[in-house]
Amino acid sequence: MSYESAARRIKRAERIVVLTGAGVSTASGIPDFRSSEGLWTEDHAREYYMSNDYFQKHPDDFWKKYKAIFRLKLLQEYRPNNVHQFIHELESDRRNVSVITQNVDGLHQLAVSSSVLEYHGSLNHSFCQDCGRSYPLESVMETMVPVCRNCGTTLKPGVMLFGDLITAHDEAEWIIKEADLLLVMGTSLQVTPFCLLPYYAGEQGRTSSILINNEPTDKDDLFDIVFHDDLSYAVQQLQELL
């Protein structure tokens, strides 16, 4: 299929849902944590350290490792790239665009996308498990181990840890149910249950679908149109046609 065909489907769509993964943020300098060059491949024990179980048992050591692994000191230096901007620019008076992202970097919000569901949470805030008070990233970076100013409890990151329950899946399905186009960008669709969302879109019967990823996925056959291209190149092609 051609980019012309994809552009025609985007032009016809009135309600687009965009699923995004780590590939969308790599052009902003944020590494893909599970690619061949990603951070997780450097040390598989990191999944153990970034678990809810490890946080509950060793909160002080967890925070030291968490800040190093996610490079929190650099987070505020990252900026949206042309893929984030393209997704925002799809919005119009006629077209509603919702983003469901695996990314925890907050770049879709910085690109001013109107509707963003952070499926795996966010690095930009943490919260107290006892009183529920939320704290922004700036506050979390003031000390090595952040604690709640209200009750002294060690804060928990707003990002989903291994072993946490996914709470956004039902909302994601509800958003997809209303869509007439599913656009999936920069994800290998390997992480459950996020990878089930394209199946749900297909069950709706009226949802067209496009996948853009830099390499094949085992879900390619679920989509009407598939591109194995660099995302920056792909959005440039689409922008010229739209």
On the CB side of 58, CA atoms within 13 Å amount to 10
Could you tell me which residue, 37 or 207, shows the higher pLDDT? 207
User: pLDDT tens digit string along 6-15?
Assistant: 999 999 999 9
Q: What is the pLDDT of residue 58?
A: 96
On the CB side of 42, CA atoms within 13 Å amount to 8
Q: Could you tell me the two tokens for 226?
A: 């598939």
Q: Give this prediction's pTM.
A: 0.92
Q: What is the pLDDT of residue 72?
A: 67
46: Cβ–Cβ under 8 A, 6 or more apart, which residues?
39, 40, 65, 69
pLDDT, mean over the chain: 91
Tokens 């149109």 locate to: 225
Q: What is the pLDDT of residue 41?
A: 47
What are the catalytic residues?
120
- 169 Ramachandran zone, left/alpha/beta (phi>0; psi -120 to 50): alpha
Give yes or no for residue 37 having a pLDDT over 50.
no
User: pLDDT tens digit string along 73-120?
Assistant: 667 788 999 999 999 999 988 899 999 999 999 999 999 999 999 999
33 — pLDDT class (breaks 50, 70, 90): low
Average pLDDT over residues 3-7: 97
**Domains present along the chain, CATH in parentheses:** 1-30+79-120+166-242 (3.40.50.1220), 31-77+121-159 (3.30.1600.10)
Measured distance CA(195)–CA(180) in Å, rounded: 19
- Residue 195, annotated ligand binder? no
CB-count exposure of residue 143 (10 Å: 0-12, 13-18, 19+): exposed
Measured distance CA(231)–CA(183) in Å, rounded: 12
114: Cβ–Cβ under 8 A, 6 or more apart, which residues?
91, 97
Give yes or no for residue 38 having a pLDDT over 50.
no
Q: Could you tell me the two tokens for 94?
A: 């006629």
Average pLDDT over residues 4-29: 94
User: pLDDT tens digit string along 137-154?
Assistant: 999 999 999 999 999 999
Give the number of other CB atoms < 10 A from CB of residue 47: 14
Q: What is the pLDDT of residue 207?
A: 82
Average pLDDT over residues 212-219: 96
Average pLDDT over residues 34-55: 68
